[in-house]
Amino acid sequence: MTARKRAAGRSAATAKKAASRKKPAKKKAVKKKPAKKKAVKKKPAKKKAVKKKPAKTKPAVRAEAAGSKPSSKNSSRRVFFFGGGAADGSAEMRDLLGGKGANLAEMTLLGVPVPPGFTLSTEVCSDFKKRRGKLSAGVKADVLTALARVEQLMGLRFGDPERPLLVSVRSGARVSMPGMMDTVLNLGLSDVTVNGLAKRADERFAYDSYRRFVQMYGDVVLRVPLDRFEFLLERAKARAGVLLDTELSGADWRNLVAEYLDLVEEYTGHPFPQDPKEQLWGAISAVFESWGNERAGAYRRLHDIDDSWGTAVNVQSMVYGNMGEDCATGVAFTRNPSTGEAKFYGEYLKNAQGEDVVAGIRTPQPINRASQTGETLALPTLEAEMPEPYGELTKIYKALEKHYRDMQDMEFTIQAGKLWILQTRNGKRTSLAAVQIAVDMVKERLISRDEAILRIDPGSIDQLLHPAIDRSADLEVVARGLPASPGAAVGRVVFSAGEAESRAKAGEKVILVRVETSPEDILGMHAAQGVLTAKGGMTSHAAVVARGMGKSCVAGCGSLAIDYQAGQMRVAERVVRLGDWISIDGSSGDVMLGEAPTVTPELSLAFKELMGWTERMSRMKVRTNADTPQDAELARGFGARGIGLCRTEHMFFEPERILSVRRMILASDGAARESALADLLPFQRKDFEGIFRAMDGLPVTVRLLDPPLHEFLPQSEEALEGVAAALEMPQQELRARLESLREFNPMLGHRGCRLGVSFPEIYRMQTRAIVEAACGVAAEGVKVEPEIMIPLVAHPGELSLLRAEVEDVIDEVREENPGVRVRPSIGTMIEVPRAALTADVIAEYADFFSFGTNDLTQMGYAMSRDDANSFLPDYVEKGILRDDPFASIDEEGVGQLVRMGAELGRKTRPGLKLGVCGEHGGDPKSVRFFAGLGLDYVSCSPYRVPVARLAAAQAQVAARRKP
């Protein structure tokens, strides 16, 4: 039968079909009699709801009266009701109800107009997994009991042909995961109930709602590919000769529903379920299952969310923003999520459902003038079009922000002029906004400085420090969209998430260009430098996720014509193809052709104020890893309290000195080696002078030569010929010398202090350069605190021998510079497991320890940092390791070596200075661990200094708060 014939015959057969389909449901209802008895027992709860009526007269004012909090019986409760001023849950029950469910309950208690519903807890999710994807009979009974309370409040009945109650089924984890799990709207519609809905509104609205439901349920629950539905929708619009969904008639929608139902039956082999209860069990199960889908798993890995938490499921009465011109739906933020500016901000669409706003299907309108920007300046606002609901929304947002003491992200619907709040949560924001909001809320006395420090994600801070578009350059701006997430992004154009991932893994910088993004694009967005979309607004999926990731994003750039199949886009009569370079500015919305130059951004006053608080709060200091005066000055500007690692070998690669280094390495005797080192001495001394001046008054730890000597020698045939000619050495002799230096495992070979033992003249030259430089700048009035660090010590005898050598040189130079008071301290890197195990003996010869966690991890795990990328991702993906141990310290293993080394060292020398100079010094999680061990400082790259400072302050605040 064709879809049109089926549609024509449907109404005639409706009663007969309804009767046959209803019979099984009636039998089920009889079997559920015990559940009805439970509903009777719940009457006292209804009395509580009556007592809460006064709260409705004071919207957004917290009900503090006795009995407004959930009862202590919730420990055994599985389904939590909210509605009519009463709720079984509260905001404190986030772990059990998820963020959405906890906030729905809390808003209900506050008197905010929330559509009634109920939440299936995260414990039900755990039980669901244990039962291999089955809901227990007890849970189903509790759901039906809660559903009856919703029916009573709404004056509607689930599955009723005349006045059907329709519900939404949504996920809700304890932390926000926007768009990562599944949602089903308009559940309860069927061939029967759609007629009842049409009587309450009109045929067009009813069948539009039905087709949305069939499409969502078909996609989420029945796994019918979404593009199959989209194809039928586009064909229907072409058939009707219209461009927009809103232009289709009721008859068009009715015919499309028939086609959708045929598609489901064709694809699944079964008719679309017409029993609303069957629909409900299917949707609840699918949402629980969506916790384990690929995109949700990827999001959890990116944001370090525990897989074991599970999600809650929220079932809530539907309210409609698409019933006519007095209806609307929107998303609002109590402050600007991009800049942090304290202005109410948001977007809405008239006569639309919620997913239309976030999916970017239509470009939304600003809710007020403060939200107008770029292409939306000419659009009418909610404030102008619906002043009464907007006024109520304003009162509610102020009350919610004051109550939660954080910026809120609210979803709302206006149905027939009445405002409903569908959810509130702490809003995703850029790092710029996070800092501004935290500092402002301290000034507004909403939160303390401690709370402000704890609210900022340290890992996001470095987004504020990286370059922005240089506006003084000659830029070819070809389009402008909405500035959805600030910052500059420069890269090659890609049109798919998969392409973004593969190119990024190969080392390319890419910009992901999409008509609109969806949750399936999450990994591509993470891999890209930035995101550009043709559709969508400031609250679209692309904007929200990009802000959460700290990625630059330009959304809703309507002038882009993207052709995925051709691998190109047209903009301003220009064709941009896959792989072409473009630049985007998420702060202005500009799209530019080519690679735009960038500049270091100016840090905000709020950022400087926040960093000032961290300095006063943290005991553990943050130094930097720097080998040049420029890096040292940059890091000092970011608040570094010294240099924790100055790698001398980096200085050897400069063109004017590399030949002398190679002469030194290839020398056939000590005299020739001393001659080459004498040539290097002035260069090294000058290097250290610049660094000491940049770090005036702060400590500078200089590591003596560490890498194996072969790294400085020519690697290619062409380079070898050049070196042989420059050194006037026969190529055959040079090759023989290179072969003699070759090692099977150079990272465990002749390197570090072993070079100093074999060739003491190398460390003597470096020590002389350090001390002469210190004496020279000290004579100028610069306060110097040099620290000489001997690397790769495994045995106390190595340090004892080399310390004596270094002290002899220090004494010589001091005698040559009478009247200059410079006394460098001498210490070592603890980077070999044996050194950590014997740290008490090694400490007898050390003024300080610096833990080299890069090598400590390599040796502790017996894996090469340079080769581990070929298999470490498998270890993380399969749950063997939670984190890459080279990125975040392995607390249970390598971390215990650090703990042991610190405790043994201070057992011998109670005042021993302890620090970390590996890459872990800039990782927030690792910094908190090191603070807990009582280390004096961590050291990291210049751009990670603010990250580490914030993490160190957070560790101190957390330690103070421990009972």
What token pair was written down for 60? Answer: 């957004």
Helix (H) or strand (E) holding 312: strand 312-317
Q: Which of 553, 646, 917, 940 is catalytic?
A: 917
**Distance between alpha carbon 565 and the CA centroid of its chain, in Å?**
31
Q: Which of 403, 541, 553, 940 is catalytic?
A: 541
What token pair was written down for 421? Answer: 């709040």
141 near 32, Cβ under 8 Å?
yes
460 near 438, Cβ under 8 Å?
no
**CA-CA distance, 847 to 790, in Å (whole number)?**
11
**CA-CA distance, 962 to 946, in Å (whole number)?**
25
Rounded to a whole number of angstroms, the CA Rg of the chain reads 33
Nearest to 920 by CA among 901, 905, 900, 935: 935
**Proportion of the chain in helix, strand, coil states, percent, rounded to 5:** 50, 15, 30
**Distance between alpha carbon 155 and the CA centroid of its chain, in Å?**
43
**Distance between alpha carbon 893 and the CA centroid of its chain, in Å?**
27
What token pair was written down for 770? Answer: 């350090």
**CA-CA distance, 192 to 633, in Å (whole number)?**
74
**CA-CA distance, 117 to 110, in Å (whole number)?**
16
184 near 220, Cβ under 8 Å?
yes
Nearest to 622 by CA among 935, 409, 937: 937
DSSP 782-833: ---EEEEEE-S--SHHHHHHHHHHHHHHHHHHHHHSTT-----EEEEEE-SH
Phi, psi of 300 (to 5 degrees): -65, -40
With a CB cutoff of 8 Å and minimum separation 6, the contacts of 256 are 207, 211, 232, 233, 236, 248
**CA-CA distance, 829 to 931, in Å (whole number)?**
18
**CA-CA distance, 282 to 278, in Å (whole number)?**
6
**CA-CA distance, 468 to 715, in Å (whole number)?**
38
**CA-CA distance, 149 to 82, in Å (whole number)?**
9
Sequence letter at residue 761: E
**CA-CA distance, 923 to 353, in Å (whole number)?**
42
Nearest to 290 by CA among 167, 427, 128: 128
921 near 938, Cβ under 8 Å?
yes
With a CB cutoff of 8 Å and minimum separation 6, the contacts of 141 are 32, 34, 35, 38
**CA-CA distance, 164 to 152, in Å (whole number)?**
12
Beta strands 365-366; 552-555: pairing state: unpaired
The yes-or-no answer on residue 541 being catalytic is yes
691 near 700, Cβ under 8 Å?
yes
Strand order in the sheet with 408-415: 365-366, 345-350, 328-333, 408-415, 418-426
Catalytic amino acids? 541, 917
